[in-house]
Each structure stands twice: as C-alpha cells, then as structure tokens.
Chains A and B, each alone.
Chain A
Amino acid sequence: MLEFNAQTIAFIVFALFSLGGALGVVTTRNLIHATLYLILSLFGAAGFFVLLSAPFLAAVQVLVYIGAIAILIVFAVMLTRSMTRISDLYNRQWLLSAIVAGILFVVLLAGVIVPVWGVNGTQIDRPVSDVVAGTVDLGKALVDQNQYVLPFEVASLLLTAAMIGAIVIARDDQE
C-alpha cells in the first residue's frame, strides 16, 4: 500500500492543512479567522501541487490565490463589517445541506474507489510514469497555436472584463 517515506508524510501534512483549513472556513464565526483558514487550505493545495510535480501551479496558487484573492477577501471582509456578531452562523437549511454534502461525498468517494477497488477495478497498482512535462512545456502549450493559445487569450479578455466590471460595480457613485 503506502510506503512510509517523506512523500507520504508531506501528503498527510498537506491533507491536514487543506481539510483543516476548509473546515475552519466553514465553521468560524470570525471572518478574518475564516480568511486565514482559507489561506491555510490554499497552502495545503499548493503543497499538493508540488507533490504532483507541478511546481509552476504551486507558485501560481500561492501568488494568485493566496497573494491576490485571499487578500482581496480580507479587504472585502474589512469593508463589509456587520454591526452585530450575535447572528447565527448557519442558516435554516444547515441540516439538509449537511446531508446533501455527506451524500455527495459518499457518491464521489464511491466514484473514486469503485474503479480502483471494485470488481472491475482498473487502477490497481497502475504504474506511474516518471517522465513529466515541465513548466517550459506549459509555457509552450499556452502560446502554441495548435494548443491553448485561444483559451489563453480569452482568459486574458475575461480578466480584463472582470477587472473593469469589478471597478464599475464597486465604484463609489457619489460623483
């Protein structure tokens, strides 16, 4: 099954970070705390990326997700402070949502495990290749006209539009 080596330990640590962070986000009342837990979870994800031989994505994750989005969320939390803190944490449908989430998890898990451990499992001990494409390949792929240049350009457009949109929406209208 699993070898007990540094990879495994790293995996467990990062898993803890991710899941713990996620749980923290969902359960804390204090939003700053929630943001911090989010950052923790994102770190965990970044760690996963490293383990999965995608260093560029790990870097991007930290830079973009944590460095930009999480900070943005902090600002938003600060700008939208509610007056009272006595309000409920969860809304009325927490039970049903928990059930749904639980079932979803079971289903997903089943979808993950069955092919592996099931009768016709195809993933049992499949060898993993060690030859991995690097960041340079990613860079090439993103601008190669036969590959992903179009989505790349469209993504940039999307970002532009989002930026403009965010500015417009959040702008102070008192002029």
Chain B
Amino acid sequence: MNLNDFVSDPNLLPWLVPVGPLLAFFVIALLTNRSRLVPAASHDYSDHNHPAYKGLMVPAVTVPSRIVTITVGLSGVIAAWLISLSVVSNALSIEKLGKTVLGNSVDWMATGATSFTMGVLVDPLTTIMLIMVPLACLMIFIYSIGYMAHDARQSRFFALISLFAGAMLTLVVADNLLLLFVGWEIMGLCSYLLIGFWYEKESAYKAAIKAFTTTRVADVIMLLGIAYLYASTGTLSFREILYNEEVLHALAETPAIIFGGISAAGLIGIFLIIGTIGKSAQFPLHVWLPDAMEGPTPVSAMIHAAAMVSAGIYAIIRMYPLFEAGGHPHEGDLTSPLMLMAVVGSFTALFAATIAVAQNDVKKVLAYSTISQLGFMMAALGIGAYIAAAFHLITHAFFKALLFMASGAVIHGMEHGDHHVHEHAHHDHDDDHVEDAHADHGHDDHHDDDHHGEDAHHAPHFDPQDMMNMGGLRKTMPVTFITFLIGGLSLAGFPLITAGFWSKDEILADAWVGVSHGYGPHMLVFFLLAIAAFLTAFYTMRQLGLTFWGEPRTEQAKHANLGQGIVSATMTLPLIILAFFAIFAGFVGVPPSFPIFGPIFAPEVNPFFEFVKYTLLPEMQPPKPPFNWIPVLTSFGVALGGLYVGYLVYWRKPLTAGQEDPLVKFLGGVYPVLKNKYYMDELYNRVFVRPSQVFSDVVVSQFIDRRIIDGLLHLIARIFTWTGDFLKLLNTWLIDGVGDGIPEYVAQFGAWFRRVQTGRIQQYLLLVAVAALLILLVFAVSSGLLVQAAG
C-alpha cells in the first residue's frame, strides 16, 4: 500500500482529498510560523483589529515566513483541488454513479463480532460537492493572500483555514456519520478560532464564543441522534442505512423510545435536523451567524458560503432518505422531520430576509441573506425537492462566496480610503494651518467626528463597513463593482442568465407541484419562499445602490480603492473566477422542458437532475417536475419586482451624505424591530445567558465549588489534622506516658526505696536480724516444730 496505489486506484483516491490541507495545517502551525518582535504601537501591528499596547513588543510574522506559509497553504488546497478533480473525473466516467459508488473503508474499531468501519465514499452528491468545495476554498485562499497581507498573524490564519478546508473535505468524502461528525466538529472548532481570530477585540471573541456555544447546543442533540441511530441499526455507514430499504423500513416502523408518537426514523431525523439548524443558522439558532462577521472576510466567505453552513445542508441532504422513510412527500404525506424542515426553513427564509432589509452593515446584509438562502434549501428539502436543494446549495456557494469576498474588497478599499484621508489630514495639518476653508472644514469635521476624546492620530471610529458611509464606489473599484453586481443578481435570481435563478426556480417549481395538488406544506413553502425571494431581490438592490451607485457620501468613499499590486490582484482574481461560476453554474440544471433554454442546455435530460438522482434508492428518487408557467412567472415576478423596487428607492435618486434611509420612514415603527433583529439577541441574553451566568457564579462557583467541594476538601484536611492531633495526644499520653512513665515510676520507686540504704550499720544489722527471724519462722513452720511446740 503505497502512494502509487492511492493514486492509481479510483476507490482509494478519495482518501487523499483532505490530506493536502490537513498536512498544510500541521506544517504551517509547527514550522513556518516564524515571527519577529515589533513595537505594538507601530503600523506593523496595530490597526482596527490589534490594539496598540503602549511600550510592548509583540511578535509579527516575518516576511519570509509569510511567503513560505502562503506557499504551503496554497499547495495544500491546490493539491486537494487537483485530487478532487481527478476523483470527479473518475466518478463522472462511471455509468449511473449511485448504483455503484467509488469508495473504500478500513476496519477502524472492533466492536464485538463485527467492527466499525471508517472510509470514503464518492457518490453523485459527493461528486458535486467535490466540484464546488475545493474550488471555493482555493478562491478563498488566493483571496486571503492579499486580504491578510498586512496582518501580524497571517501564518496562524493560513494554518486555521487549511484545517478548516481539510475538515470540510473530510466531511464531504466521509462514508459514515461518525466521520462526518468529526469533520463537523473540527469545523466548529475552526469557526471559533477564526471568528475570534482578532481575539484582542472584545466583539470578536464574544462572537466566537457565541458561535461555538450555539452550534454546540445543536451538536449535542445531533450526537444524540447519531447515537440513537447507531443503537437502532448497529452501523453508521451511509450506504448501509440510506441505500438500504430494509433498514429504512425498519426504522420507519419502530416507534421512537421517547415521544412515542413518531417513529425511530422520525426522532433520529429530528435530532439530526436540529444539528443542522444550529450549524446552518436556522431559526432559532441563527443568532451566531451575523456576529460571525467579526472574523476576517475570507473566514466569512468560507464559513457562510463554501464550508460550514454548506456542511449543515449537505448533512441533511445526505440523510434525506432517513427523513423520508415512512412518508411520501411527493404525495403530500410529510413525515415529522420533513415537516420540521419545511416549516423551519421557510419561516427562517422570510424571517432573515426581513431583517436583512434593515441592516446597514454590508456584511450583515450578506449574513442574513445567507440565513435566508439556507432556509430556502431546508424548505426545499422538506417538501421533497431533493435535487433542487442540492442544486441551490452549489449555486449559492458560488455566488455567496463571491459576494462575501467582494464585500471584503469593498471594506478593504474603504479602509484604504480611511488611511489615505488620515495621512492627508496629517500632512495638511503639519504643513499649513491656514488652508482652503472647504478642505479644512472637511478635514476638521472628519477629525472632530473621529476624536471622541481619543488620541488624534489613532483609533478613528469610522466604520468602513457601514453602507451609509459608502457610495459611488463603482468609479474607484470597477472590477469589484461588476463582480458584486453579478453576484447580487445571481442571489436575487435575475431571470435566465444567472445561476441563482435556475436553482431558485427549481425549488419553486417543485413546491408548485404540491400546491397544484393542494398539499398544505407545499403551499406554505411556496408562498413564504416567494415573498422571501422578493425581499431578497429588494435588499440586494438596496445594497448595490447604497454601496456602488450615486456619489461618495464620505471622504473615505471618495478615496476608496484597492490600489495596485499583488494585494489587489489576489483579491480581484477570485472574484472574477467566481463571477464566471455565478453565471454559468446554473446551466447544468436547466429542465429540458424549459422554453428556449431547455433544448440548448438540456436536450434530453436535466444533466444535474439525472446525475444526482441516483444518489437515492430508485423508489425515493423524486419525480421530474413537469414544466409549469406559474412558478416560472413567479420567479420572474419576484426577482424583477424586487429589483425594480430597490432600483426605485435607491438607484433613481441615490442617497446623499447624511440623508436618512427612506426605509425608516416607510416602515415606521417596524424599522427598529427589524434593525435590532427582532430583539432575539436580547431575548436570548435575558433567558439563557444571564441565568446561566448567574447559575455558574452563584450556584456552581460559590456554592458548589467553594462551599461543597472546598468544604469537603477542607473537611478532609481538618479530619486529617484532627487525626494528627489525636494521634499526637495519644502519643503524648500513651506512648510518652507509658514509655516515659514506666522509667519514671521505676526511678521514683528507686528514689524512694534507696532510702533504705541509710549508711547506718545498725539498721542493716537490724534488718538482718529480722530477716533471720523470718527465715527461722519459715523453717519452723515447714518442719512442723511449731506444731510440736504448740502440742
């Protein structure tokens, strides 16, 4: 078994997919993280995200280390990408992949007579994931080169995103639920480390903890589901459970051990779905995702597009046969897990879309947009639109990654502009105090805005992410503008030419089939998703308008650009590549019965549909939705309608500096609710966080820890000291008393008795006489003389 075997055998090749990034993680973390000490207050270290400690020397990565890190990191992910391309090509060459699969497993742990196997599996679902994930990760890595070029801890960043990518790839190629869960958890850890990458910022580390604990809640329940599944079936392998009719049937028939109303499959399904609700930030566990924007933008792209949230949806798509077991979603009979997904998904989609409408932070809009789109996918899966959900997952990954990275470029540009403004201000300030009144006014205004009582040259409170500070960036950042536009239109579902349209349309088409039959869940899904799609288009247009259109509203916006050189090149290249995919990735999923486009792209069958459907057992494969104008028109309508309304509000008369968002007046009292995310964070704080803090402080720390545990320990210590004292006392009395007492007693007796020896001879003689008499007496008695005498 050597490397050659791995490479040549298509069944063994998938093992190598996660190896590259994981190896890169170890190499970078252990070897390439060389740093030198720089003063903390210098520009090498302090910026928005690193505080300027006075007088301290802090380590910052050296340039040679940066180069080595980037090389290693990039090679890791490029290796993963090339290997996955090879795996994909192997997979595509197999006829009806799904009935037969590529894969390999090893006996990992002996469990009695059988053993638990771990291995890799490549079926159609894995294949499409392997097309998307390594590519998106590679783009993000390239983007990170430029984005983190001036960060003092770039090596650590690359190590962590390599680990992240490795974990995601592990999850994708896993052939059993346990290995999937391993990748899941590693990604949870990486999300914590990466969201809190700038850990000196309070908001960052708090967000990291929030992300981790929220997903942890869901992960525990998911683990319960996994355990229950293992206990019921004795295996966790996908092929043995999900491609196996008897197992699915048995699980669907057995009632669950608690909540007797549903089947075992239902309970397991609900638990696993709760895991995804946490990981993919659905209501009510969505609160961590917007705060996760505290991390660097490549992390946001990775977490919210390519990797983590996709992992959640991937997991439920993978486990779909379990959810469907016992029900017939295509005939309107939804099982409990499916119902849960449909309701939660569609509700979340609308919920998040309404919040996104009122957000001003460019990344927050995208965060809520992600939550909303994930709701789309979950809802689609809930009504049985298996292929549509998978399709939307793939397309969403592309355009969302694109959008995040483009927004990162925007923010980078704004910071650049901010820097420029400050330098300019210093320059002017130093040179000449009497300046052009307008410029002076502007600079001084700016300074006054930023001071807030702080050091004049540092820590400006200018928020480069606030869209209200932007405007007119299309002029200074054209490439970013075009790519952002493409991504935004794809997100909105701009008809026909964007990938997002095709995937969203398929979801609506599947939902409409159910509506036409009068199935309740399908109707719910259809209407809610349609409204959400409308809002999606609206806020996308709003975002584009506020950021790029019109005139710059601040000085920073006027000077915002990415500059020249490697940094900007590495940041714009991925945008361009992903923009390509955001347009053309959709064309693999065109239904053949679609007018005009159908015959061009899908002459006989929908290629995506045909490919992916074999992941499921034949009975479970969803029927092809027949072409219907209504969902198509609905898609057209909501997309174009939303875009038009956004255009009306934000593009025709672009906002000027200081002008309030027209939405505020329009929504009136509702606006603050939306802006504050329906006060969910405050609610959770009140209901969960504060009580648990109080509990941990009062009950655990003070009571259990100090009183009971410390008390117990003190008691034990006290018992021992008492015992010691007692033994000491015993020692003094008994041992010393007896041991010393006996000699003392003897000595006292001796001292008393020796007074017999008076030195007076006559006393001695008297004693002799007395003794002699006594002896005589004894003799007399014994020989009987006395008796004789008496007689």
- Cross-chain contact A110 with B776 (CB below 8 angstroms): no
Contact A104 B773 (CB under 8 A): yes
When distances are taken between beta carbons in the complex, the residues of chain A under 8 Å from B789 are: 110, 114, 118
**Are the C-beta atoms of A96 and B773 separated by less than 8 Å?**
no
Bound together, the chains give a CA A114 to CA B787 distance in angstroms of: 11
Q: Chain A residues near B780 (CB, 8 Å)?
A: 107
Q: Which residue of chain B is the closest to A118 with respect to CB atoms? A: B788
The yes or no answer to A97 lying at the interface (CB within 8 A) is yes
CB contacts (< 8 Å) of B762 on chain A: these are 91, 93
How far is it, in angstroms, between the C-alpha of A136 and the C-alpha of B519 when the chains are bound?
169
Q: Is the CB of A93 within 8 A of B791?
A: no
Q: A93-B762, A93-B763, A107-B776 are in contact. Are A100 and B770 (CB under 8 A)?
A: yes
Count of A-B contacts judged by CB separation below 8 Å:
28
A120 in contact (CB, < 8 A): yes
A residues within 8 A CB of B785? 114
Distance of B279 from chain A, by nearest CB (Å): 113
A160 to chain B, nearest CB (A): 27
Looking across the interface, which residue of chain A has its beta carbon closest to that of B777?
A107
A104 and B769 form a contact (CB under 8 A): yes
Q: Give residues 101-140 of A contacting B (CB, 8 Å).
A: 103-104, 107, 110, 114, 118-120
Q: How far is the CA of A93 from the CA of B763 in the complex (A)?
A: 8
Q: Inside 8 A of B776's CB, which chain A residues have their CB? A: 107
In the complex, what distance in Å separates the CA atom of A96 from the CA atom of B768?
A: 13
A97–B766 touching, CB < 8 Å:
yes
Say how far A111's CB is from chain B's closest CB, in angstroms: 8
Distance in angstroms between the alpha carbons of A36 and B142 in the assembled complex: 147
Residues of B within 8 A of A114 (CB): 785, 788-789
- Which residues in B have their C-beta under 8 angstroms from that of A103? 773
Known contacts: A110-B789, A118-B788, A119-B788. The answer to whether A100 contacts B769 by CB under 8 A is yes
Note all chain A residues with C-beta closer than 8 A to B763: 93
User: Least Cβ distance of B654 to chain A in Å?
Assistant: 139
Q: Are A93 and B788 in contact (CB under 8 A)?
A: no
Q: Chain B residues with Cβ under 8 A from A104's Cβ? A: 769, 773
Please state if B788 and A107 are interface contacts (CB–CB under 8 Å).
Answer: no
Chain B residues within 8 Å of A100, by CB? 766, 769-770, 773
Bound: A118/B789 CA distance, A: 7
Contact with A along B389-408 (1 / 0, CB 8 A): 00000000000000000000
Question: How big is chain A's contact interface, by range?
Answer: 10 to 19
B788-A96 in contact (CB<8A): no
Which residues of the partner chain A approach B760 to less than 8 Å between Cβ atoms?
Answer: 91
Cα separation A93 to B767 with both chains bound (whole Å): 11
Rounded to whole angstroms, the CA-CA distance of A114 and B783 in the bound complex is 14
Beta-carbon nearest neighbor of A114 in chain B? B789
User: Judging by beta carbons under 8 Å apart, are A119 and B766 in contact?
Assistant: no
A107 in contact with B766 (CB, 8 Å): no
Residues on B with beta carbons closer than 8 Å to the beta carbon of A93: 762-763, 766
**Residue pair A119, B773 in contact (C-beta under 8 Å):** no
Chain B contacts for A120, CB-based, 8 A:
788
Query: With A96-B766, A97-B766 in contact, do A107 and B791 touch (Cβ < 8 Å)?
Result: no
Instruction: Give complex CA distance A96, B762 in Å.
Output: 12
A129 to chain B, nearest CB (A): 28
- Give CA–CA (A114, B789) in the complex, Å: 6
Are A119's CB and B791's CB within 8 A? yes
Residues of B within 8 A of A110 (CB): 789
Closest B-chain residue to A99, C-beta based? B770
Q: Which A-chain residue is minimally distant from B787 (CB atoms)?
A: A119
Chain A nearest Cβ from B773, distance in angstroms: 6
Q: Give Cα A119–Cα B780 distance, bound, in whole angstroms.
A: 16
Q: List A12-37 residues whose CB lies under 8 Å from chain B.
A: none
- Alpha-carbon distance between A110 and B789 when the two chains are bound, in angstroms: 8
CB distance from A103 to the nearest CB of B (A): 6
Q: For the complex, what is the distance from the CA of A120 to the CA of B783, rounded to whole Å?
A: 14
Per-position binary interface string of chain B over residues 549-587, scored 1 when its CB falls under 8 Å from any chain A CB and 0 otherwise: 000000000000000000000000000000000000000
User: Which residues of B in the span 735-791 have a Cβ within 8 Å of any Cβ on A?
Assistant: 760, 762-763, 766, 769-770, 773, 776, 780, 785, 788-789, 791
Distance in Å from the Cβ of B788 to the closest Cβ of chain A? 6
- Closest residue on chain A to residue B763 by CB atoms: A93
- Complex Cα spacing A103 to B780, Å: 14
**Using a CB-CB cutoff of 8 Å, which residues 81-106 of chain A contact chain B?**
91, 93, 96-97, 100, 103-104
Across the two chains, which residue of chain B brings its CB closest to A100?
B769
Q: How far is the CB of A26 from chain B (nearest CB, A)?
A: 13
The residue of chain A having its C-beta at the shortest distance from the C-beta of B762 within the complex is A91
Nearest neighbor of A107 in chain B, beta-carbon distance: B776
For the complex, what is the distance from the CA of A1 to the CA of B776, rounded to whole Å?
A: 31
Assembled-state Cα–Cα distance A27/B773 (Å): 24
Q: How far is the CA of A133 from the CA of B766 in the complex (A)?
A: 40
Distance between Cα atoms of A114 and B773 in the complex (Å): 18
Please give, as numbers and ranges, the residues of chain B lying within 8 Å of A96 by CB-CB distance: 766, 770
In the bound complex, CA of A130 to CA of B102 (Å)? 154
Complex CA distance for A104 and B766, rounded to whole angstroms: 12
Expressed in whole angstroms, the Cα–Cα distance for A126 and B770 within the complex equals: 35
Instruction: With both chains docked as a complex, state the minimum distance between the C-beta of B370 and any C-beta of chain A, in angstroms.
Output: 122
Determine the distance from Cα of A144 to Cα of B763 in the docked complex, in whole angstroms: 44
**How far is A104 from B772 in the complex, measured between Cα atoms in Å?**
9
Distance to closest chain A CB from B748 (angstroms): 25
Q: How far is the CA of A137 from the CA of B789 in the complex (A)?
A: 39
A91 to B766, alpha carbons, bound, how many Å?
12
A103-B772 Cα distance, complex, nearest whole Å: 11
Q: A residues within 8 A CB of B770? A: 96, 100
Q: How far does the Cβ of A43 sit from chain B's closest Cβ, in whole Å?
A: 27
Rounded to whole Å, the gap between the CB of B607 and the closest CB of chain A is: 140
Q: Which residue of B lies closest to A97 (CB)?
A: B766
Question: Whole-angstrom distance from the CB of B769 to the nearest CB of chain A?
Answer: 5
- Give B contacts to A, CB under 8 Å: 760, 762-763, 766, 769-770, 773, 776, 780, 785, 788-789, 791
By a beta-carbon cutoff of 8 Å, the part of chain A in contact with chain B is 91, 93, 96-97, 100, 103-104, 107, 110, 114, 118-120
| CB-CB nearest 4 A-B residue pairs | A100-B769, A114-B789, A93-B766, A110-B789
Can you identify 10 A-B contacts, CB atoms within 8 angstroms? Answer: A91-B760, A91-B762, A97-B766, A100-B766, A100-B769, A104-B773, A107-B776, A110-B789, A119-B791, A120-B788
Using A100-B773, A107-B780 as known contacts, list a sample of 13 further A-B pairs with CB atoms less than 8 Å apart, ordered by residue number in A: A91-B760, A96-B770, A97-B766, A100-B766, A103-B773, A104-B769, A107-B773, A110-B789, A114-B785, A118-B788, A119-B788, A119-B791, A120-B788
